[in-house]
Amino acid sequence: MTEVTAVILAAGLGERMKSSVPKQFLTVGNEQLLDYSISALQHSVDRIIVTLPSLDVADSLKHQDGVTYVKGGVTRTQSVSNALNLVDTDLVLVHDAARPFATKRLVAEVIAELDSYAATCPVMPVVNSIVVDRDGELESTPERASFREVQTPQGFHTDILREAIATFGEDHAHLPELVRRLGHPVKHVDGSPWLFKVTYAPSLAMAAYYVEHVMHNEEASDV
Ligand code: CTP
Ligand code: MG
């Protein structure tokens, strides 16, 4: 089996959450969100690298076997670059620590499609109408049938992701787009509503509900 490293991005400041600590370190149930993210991936990959705002933070985290910590960068993609310097496997998953509830089935699918694709990405249909705003007024309403929301973990052939970032720079947020621009098709796989990203305070209530009622119920969590 080709070895896989998971890069878990936990170096953000979580400004939209407006909490005193970055959202990935908030506790829901008995664990920090980062711990759920690590637990969700650790049985599906060979190594885990976690980006942190500062390496000092690592001392205060629950000990996790086989996890390496690295300081992140100013942007999400710069955090990915810092972690990629330590990756020595052919395949890599890039995952948001703020998305704590990936299922094994989804992670397996993201990895399996890397047999045929340079990059893979879970996506969900958009539930709300999408409009274009110009100076606070409605400018236009695009047909959203082909629109998708992007989730993580996203899978990559490590050398192609490195080449994509080196070629197109570190300021683009959607890494599979950089791989596409290199000329490689990117495979979308079905995401999950439980793979939401904790962003604003109400999503913490959803996370608490998941931990209490869904996490240990395979049928309920696999949607
Ligand atoms: N992230 C990171 N390094 C950065 C920015 C973000 O590792 N320089 C991580 C975050 O910790 C998060 C994930 O990337 O797990 C997705 O980013 P986002 O949801 O935007 O988190 P934040 O940037 O922390 O939040 P906000 O945008 O509200 O400040
Ligand atoms: Mg952000």
Pocket test for ligand 1, best of 8, 13, 69, 81 (most atoms within 8 A of CB): 13
In this structure, the dihedral spanned by the alpha carbons of residues 170, 190, 88 and 118, taken in order and rounded to 10 degrees, is -70
Ligand 1 pocket residue status of 80, Cβ below 6 Å: no
Å from CA of 177 to ligand 2 middle:
18
Judge whether 158 and 84 are in contact, CB under 8 Å. yes
How do residues 201-216 score in pLDDT, each as one tens digit? 999 999 999 999 999 9
Ligand 1 pocket residue status of 9, Cβ below 6 Å: yes
Residue 222 pLDDT exceeds 90: no
AA letter at 95: H
Separation CA 162–CA 25 (nearest Å):
28
* Token reading at 99: 């998305």
pLDDT band, residue 64 (cuts 50/70/90): confident
Å from CA of 116 to ligand 2 middle:
31
How do residues 37-52 score in pLDDT, each as one tens digit? 999 999 999 999 999 9
Residue nearest to atom 26 of ligand 1 (CA): 14
Place of tokens 């942007």: 75
Pocket test for ligand 1, best of 7, 9, 50, 94 (most atoms within 8 A of CB): 9
Q: What is the mean pLDDT of residues 94-123?
A: 98
Separation CA 9–CA 33 (nearest Å):
12
> DSSP 3-state assignment of 108?
helix
Ligand 1 pocket residue status of 15, Cβ below 6 Å: yes
Judge whether 182 and 164 are in contact, CB under 8 Å. yes
Q: Which of 190, 50, 78 is nearest to 124 (CA)?
A: 190
